[in-house]
Amino acid sequence: MKGWSRSRSEWPEVLIMEILLRLPVKSLTRFNCICRSWCCCFQTSNFISKHHHINLKNNRLNLLCNRGVGKPDNVIPYFTQLSTEQDDFLSAKHDIHLTYFKDRGYPPDVLGPCNGLLCIYNYGERNKTALWNPSTREFKTLPTSSIQIQPPSPGYITVDCVGFGLDSNTGDYKVIHFVKLVTLDSDDDYPGFEYAVELYSLKTDSWKEIPIAGDFPHSYICNSCVNGIFYCYAITDGSPHEHKPRIFSFDMSAEKFSTFPFPEFGGPLDYYLFRVLEFNGSLGVIIYPSQGPEKSFDLWVMNGAYTWTKQLCIEPIPGVETPLGFWKNGDLFLETSDHQLALFHHHTGELKTLGINTFLGSMCVVAYAESLVPINGTSEHKDYIIRQPCTK
């Protein structure tokens, strides 16, 4: 050890830092005990940002497959970590059981990644949301909202949509809840709706209410956050047959809402499904048929002027149902008709099933680069997450 210390002292500090920046999080965690200066360095925003950027630049991505198995009224949710090593590509490595969300009966929704962080929540529930850094294995449950929203009588409160992103002006990670107050009236055929929006700040570890102005959407379908702006496909009157679809957005920095047109793809809305996602740093929408034995997939990408360009068109593929997200080189993860995970190679047209199944369309794939971003939570333990050998 003494010899190693002497040789280390002869290396330029800049070179040492460049080497450390290229190491995985697991190695850096071990190196925390080597010297105090390294431990302090790994916690600086500059090192954290550079380390994550290098991982993104070099396409060092990790894959999590969100799955659920069990009976329809008792689904057990968990992640499967997929290998990205060349000799063992996309084989299942181990399972990560989300014990914090086990009582819901179906898998939770996953948002992100945002600088390597994921937001996990139970659809419909106000107080069942958590942040997770799978690289550092830090987990944080969000506090109960302090905003007093009284449910109507008779009626109930539900969270229709959740967004997660970074406020680049302050470096703060935020979670937004779109809360719906549903009034049930026996004298009326249709329920009444009121809306509220609450925003969580990781820096303050607290919630605040965001004022609502103008025409507010009645429903939200699929969402994503790109460059600090949350986007979703929204319907303002509850009927896609009577109203043009819109993209609804919320700026995490300015804390303001906006709407703009949906891609004019030339088809009837009731025959198509949509997936909003990030594509190469821009907002994208995948549009595909809702029925039929063969599915084609069109990718539309938005430019800076809020106009859309068809970026990609994948011809009909037999035996697939749902797009799950893009991998490297434009390859697309898909869920097959028999609920298997598959990867479509765009350049060759080959569809490869990966031997990983799911339950009743609950699957999603999350590709993230390792990150040291802290979330002021606790280490994973059995009440939140359990890791174990993969069961396929």
Distance CA 374, CA 132 (A): 10
Helix (H, G, I), strand (E, B) or coil at 125: coil
Arithmetic mean of pLDDT, 281-297: 88
Please choose, from the candidates 315, 228, 351, 336, the residue with its C-alpha nearest in 3D space to the C-alpha of residue 278: 228
Residues 6+ apart with CB under 8 A from 240: 269, 270
- Residue 355: predicted pLDDT: 83
Determine the residue type at 53. H
- Residue 83: predicted pLDDT: 83
Distance CA 279, CA 209 (A): 31
What are the pLDDT digits (tens) for 56-79? 998 888 999 887 777 666 767 788
Arithmetic mean of pLDDT, 229-255: 76
Distance CA 286, CA 299 (A): 5
- Residue 218: predicted pLDDT: 62
Arithmetic mean of pLDDT, 368-390: 87
**Greatest mean pLDDT among 12-21, 165-174, 246-255, 256-265:** 165-174
pLDDT class of 11 with cuts at 50, 70, 90: confident
- Residue 370: predicted pLDDT: 94
The overall average pLDDT reported for the chain is 83
Distance CA 258, CA 261 (A): 11
Count of residues making up the chain: 392
What are the pLDDT digits (tens) for 83-132? 887 767 788 888 888 888 876 666 788 898 999 999 998 887 888 899 99
**Greatest mean pLDDT among 42-51, 96-105, 186-195, 339-348:** 42-51
Arithmetic mean of pLDDT, 209-238: 76
CA 215 to chain CA centroid, Å, is 27
Please choose, from the candidates 310, 306, 387, 313, the residue with its C-alpha nearest in 3D space to the C-alpha of residue 349: 313
More confident residue, 229 or 244: 229
113 upstream amide cis, omega within 30 of 0: yes
Q: How many CA atoms does the CB half-sphere of 347 hold within 13 Å? A: 4
- For 50, the enclosing helix (H) or strand (E) is helix 45-57
Q: What is the per-residue burial (b if ≥16 Cβ within 10 Å, else e) of 26-35?
A: eebeeeeeee
Arithmetic mean of pLDDT, 4-24: 76
Backbone angles phi, psi at 38, to 5 degrees: -65, -45
pLDDT class of 200 with cuts at 50, 70, 90: very high
- Residue 253: predicted pLDDT: 95
154 upstream amide cis, omega within 30 of 0: yes
More confident residue, 47 or 159: 47
* Burial label, 345 (beta-carbon count in 10 A; 0-12, 13-18, 19+): middle
Backbone angles phi, psi at 147, to 5 degrees: -75, 125
More confident residue, 345 or 125: 345
